[in-house]
Structure 1
Amino acid sequence: MVNQPNFCKVLGEVKQAESVIPIRSAKKPSPLKEPVKPKLKDEPKKETKKEAKKEAAKPKVEDVEEEEEAPKPQPKYFLDLLPPSKMILDEWKRLYSNTKTNFHEFAIKRFWDIRILSHDPEGYSLWFCNYKYNDENTVSFFTLNKVSGFLQRMDLARKYAFGKMLVIGSEPPYKVKGLWLFRGKEIPQFVLDECYDMELYEWSKVDTSDEAQKERVNAMIEDQEPFEGEPLLDAKCFK
Structure 2
Amino acid sequence: MAAIKVYGFGPRVQPALIAAKYEGVEVQYEEVNPFKGCPAEYLEKFPLGLIPALEHGDFKLTECIAVASYIARENKANLHGKTQEDHAQVLRWMSFANTDVMALYQWFLPLVDSSRPYLKPTVEAAKAKALKSLDFLEKYLADRTFLVSERITLADIHLASVLGPAFATVLDADFRKSHPNVTRHFQTVAHQPQVLEVTGKEPVLCDKAAVYTPPKKEEKPKAAPAPKAEKPKAAPAPADDETPAEPKAKHPCEALGQAKSFPLDEWKRQYSNNETPVAMKWLDEHYDETAAQEYSFCRADFKYNEELTQTFMSANQVTGLHTRLEGSRKYLFGNMLVYGTTNASKIVGVYMFRGSNVEDIFSVAPDWESYEFTPLDYKKDRELIEKVWSWEGKVDGLECADGKTFK
TM-score (norm 1): 0.61
**Residue 94 of structure 1: aligned partner:** 269
Residue 195 of structure 1: how far off its partner (Å): 1.2
The structure 2 residue matched to 1:216, chosen from 373, 378, 384, is: 384
AA partner of residue 95 (structure 1): Q
**Residue 402 of structure 2: aligned partner:** 234
**Residue 283 of structure 2: aligned partner:** 111
Residue pair 1:161, 1:182 contacting (<8 A) in 2 also: yes
Deviation per CA, 1:176-225, whole angstroms, max 9, x where unpaired? 00011111122252632x31221001111002342xx1111111111113
Secondary structure class of the residue paired with 1:120: helix
Residue 88 of structure 1: how far off its partner (Å): 0.5
CA separation of 1:146 and 1:78: change in aligned 2, threshold 3 A: closer
Deviation per CA, 1:147-192, whole angstroms, max 9, x where unpaired? 1111111111111100101100123231100011111122252632
Secondary structure class of the residue paired with 1:109: helix
Residue pair 1:182, 1:188 contacting (<8 A) in 2 also: no
What stretches of structure 2 of length at least 5 have no aligned partner? 1-246
CA separation of 1:91 and 1:141: change in aligned 2, threshold 3 A: same
Aligned counterparts of 1:85 and 1:75: Cα–Cα separation in 2 = 24
Secondary structure class of the residue paired with 1:169: strand
Residue 107 of structure 1: how far off its partner (Å): 0.7
Aligned counterparts of 1:111 and 1:214: Cα–Cα separation in 2 = 11
Residue 251 of structure 2 corresponds to residue 77 of structure 1: yes
Percent identical pairs in the alignment equals: 32
Residue pair 2:253, 2:360 contacting (<8 A) in 1 also: no
Aligned length: 163
Map residues 49-64 of structure 1 onto 2, 5 A cutoff.
none
Q: CA RMSD in A?
A: 2.5
Aligned counterparts of 2:368 and 2:391: Cα–Cα separation in 1 = 22
Residue 121 of structure 1: how far off its partner (Å): 3.9
Larger radius of gyration: 1
Secondary structure class of the residue paired with 2:386: helix
**Is the deviation greater in 81-90 or in 160-169?**
81-90
Aligned counterparts of 2:342 and 2:251: Cα–Cα separation in 1 = 42
Residue 141 of structure 1: how far off its partner (Å): 3.1
AA partner of residue 195 (structure 1): A
Residue pair 2:332, 2:361 contacting (<8 A) in 1 also: no
**Residue 135 of structure 1: aligned partner:** 306
Aligned counterparts of 2:342 and 2:374: Cα–Cα separation in 1 = 26
Aligned counterparts of 1:158 and 1:203: Cα–Cα separation in 2 = 18
Structure ranking higher on relative contact order (CA contacts 8 Å, 6+ apart): 1
CA separation of 1:165 and 1:206: change in aligned 2, threshold 3 A: same
Aligned counterparts of 1:169 and 1:190: Cα–Cα separation in 2 = 28
**Residue 176 of structure 1: aligned partner:** 347
AA partner of residue 96 (structure 1): Y
**Residue 39 of structure 1: aligned partner:** none
**Residue 158 of structure 1: aligned partner:** 329
Residue 122 of structure 1: how far off its partner (Å): 3.3
What stretches of structure 1 of length at least 5 have no aligned partner? 1-72
Residue pair 1:136, 1:173 contacting (<8 A) in 2 also: no
CA separation of 1:156 and 1:171: change in aligned 2, threshold 3 A: same
Aligned counterparts of 2:313 and 2:292: Cα–Cα separation in 1 = 37
**Residue 108 of structure 2: aligned partner:** none
Residue 368 of structure 2 corresponds to residue 198 of structure 1: yes
Map residues 15-54 of structure 1 onto 2, 5 A cutoff.
none
Q: Compare the two structures and name the one with the higher helix fraction.
A: 2
AA partner of residue 320 (structure 2): G
